[in-house]
């Protein structure tokens, strides 16, 4: 299987992703947040590139069914209802709502994939579902790691490596990109204790310093939310809406 890896969203031009099956990976936290929101009953999540686009979209939506969510520098944007913590997106807040999500890194990656054949949102919480998505793809696959401020993020790299490890049955093919080799090698090195490796990442340590230690632990859970969010016509929705949890069910911040 031909799989390309982009180590940051800024390294993936729209032309690079055109016609491919794309997996956008942002572990901390956009993809973890949107899969949580959809699991808790949100109708859709609209990822946007910046505050200007967010404002334009929200202005044309029913204020009673639209929520503004997002962050800059890890903290909730002034005037927004929600930040980028998955813990904010509880059933009583998001059920039946459409969330306009504006983050520093992850949502920009979706806007770069507008010309892709199909796009899925991936993180550790739903990694098996995005692996299935890649297996079913009828075109070449691209994994786009969101990164952090145009730099490589260890947690996204590890998630990409886990996806590659499963797609390649643990054996690196002779023909692969340097970025794919780096992702697979790093995952192989840290696979026995992913949670600790994620906690040591620069982005995780910054979030902990901002008071989001629970988010880091939550986002490190593998397959806690076996759902497939797909990006269609500018919105992220569940490929199978019936797979979402009962609205009163929440996912604990740490695994048992």
pLDDT given for residue 244 in this prediction? 87
pTM: 0.94
Q: What is the pLDDT along the chain (256 residues), one digit of tens a residue?
A: 899 999 999 999 999 999 999 999 999 999 999 999 999 999 999 999 999 999 999 999 999 999 999 999 999 999 999 999 999 999 999 999 999 999 999 999 999 999 999 999 999 999 999 999 999 999 999 999 999 999 999 999 999 999 999 999 999 999 999 999 999 999 999 999 999 999 999 999 999 999 999 999 999 999 999 999 999 999 999 999 988 874 334 455 543 3
pLDDT score at 238: 98
Predicted pLDDT of residue 1 = 82
Phi first, then psi: give them for residue 69, nearest 5 degrees. -130, 150
Tokens 């796009």 locate to 119
Q: What is the pLDDT of residue 251?
A: 56
Tally of CB atoms within 10 A around 18: 14
CB 183 within 8 A of CB 144: no
What HEC string does the chain produce? CCEEEECCHHHCCHHHHCCCEEEEECCCCHHHHHHHHHHCCCCEEEEECCHHHHHHHHHCCCCCCEEEEEEECCEECCCCCECCCHHHCCHHHHCCCEEEEECCCHHHHHHHCCCCCEEEEECHHHHHHHHHHHHHCCCCEEEEECCECCECCHHHHHHHHHHHHHHCCCCCCCCCCHHHHHHHHHHHHHHHHHHHHHHCCHHHHHHHHCCCHHHHHHHCCCCCCCCCEEEECCEEEECCHHHCCCCCCCCCCCCC
Q: Where are the domains of the chain?
A: 3-234
Residues 6+ apart with CB under 8 A from 73: 104
CATH class of 3-234: alpha beta
């Amino acid at each position: 299987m031909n799989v390309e890896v982009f180590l940051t969203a800024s390294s993936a031009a729209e032309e690079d992703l055109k016609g491919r099956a794309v997996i956008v990976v942002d572990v901390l936290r956009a993809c973890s947040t949107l899969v949580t929101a959809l699991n808790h009953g949100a109708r859709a999540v609209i990822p946007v590139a910046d505050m200007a686009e967010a404002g334009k979209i929200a202005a044309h939506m029913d204020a009673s069914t639209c929520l503004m969510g997002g962050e800059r520098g890890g903290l909730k944007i002034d005037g927004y209802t929600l930040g980028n913590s998955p813990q904010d997106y509880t059933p009583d807040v998001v059920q039946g709502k459409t969330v306009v999500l504006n983050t520093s890194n992850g949502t920009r990656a979706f806007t770069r994939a507008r010309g892709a054949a199909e796009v899925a949102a991936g993180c550790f919480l739903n990694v098996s579902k995005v692996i299935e998505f890649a297996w079913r793809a009828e075109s070449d696959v691209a994994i786009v790691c969101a990164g952090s401020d145009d730099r490589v993020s260890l947690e996204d790299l590890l998630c990409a490596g886990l996806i590659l490890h499963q797609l390649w049955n643990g054996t690196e093919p002779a023909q692969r990109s340097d970025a794919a080799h780096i992702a697979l090698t790093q995952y192989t090195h840290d696979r026995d204790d992913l949670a600790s490796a994620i906690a040591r990442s620069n982005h995780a340590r910054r979030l902990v310093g901002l008071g989001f230690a629970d988010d880091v632990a939550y986002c490190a859970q593998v397959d806690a939310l076996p759902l497939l969010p797909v990006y269609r016509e500018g919105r992220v929705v569940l490929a199978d809406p019936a797979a979402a949890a009962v609205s009163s069910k929440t996912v604990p911040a740490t695994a048992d």
